């Protein structure tokens, strides 16, 4: 993960613990992040570094072919 992505992830984690997942979506939308399907979340979630779910932090390598 790039340093810039790590900062986004840490910020998103703070938002998640304080305000909940819906605010993480708002934050991701403001940044213009892509959405991809996340198995653990069972939903389309914002991703950083192409494959890392911003909500739960899971890697979703099945989406790599789109990169
Ligand atoms: Zn997830």
Neighbour-count burial for 6-38, b at 16+ CB within 10 Å, e otherwise: eebbeebeebbeeeebeebbebbeeeebeebeb
Alpha carbon of 43 to ligand 1 centroid (Å): 8
Predicted confidence band of residue 1 (pLDDT cuts 50, 70, 90): confident
Does residue 8 surpass a pLDDT of 60? yes
| Confidence (pTM) | 0.82
Span from the CA of 8 to the centroid of ligand 1 (angstroms): 15
Q: Which residues surround ligand 1, an ion (CB under 5 A)?
A: 38, 40-41, 45, 53, 55-56, 58
What pLDDT is recorded for position 65? 52
Whole-number average pLDDT of the chain: 90
Residue 52 scores a pLDDT above 90: yes
Average pLDDT over residues 46-51: 92
């Amino acid at each position: 993960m790039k340093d810039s992505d790590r900062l986004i992830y840490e910020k998103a984690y703070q938002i998640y613990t304080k305000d909940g997942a819906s605010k993480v979506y708002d934050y991701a939308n403001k940044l213009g992040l892509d959405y991809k399907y996340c198995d653990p979340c069972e939903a389309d979630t914002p991703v950083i570094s192409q494959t890392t779910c911003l909500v739960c932090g899971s890697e979703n390598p099945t989406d790599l072919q789109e990169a």
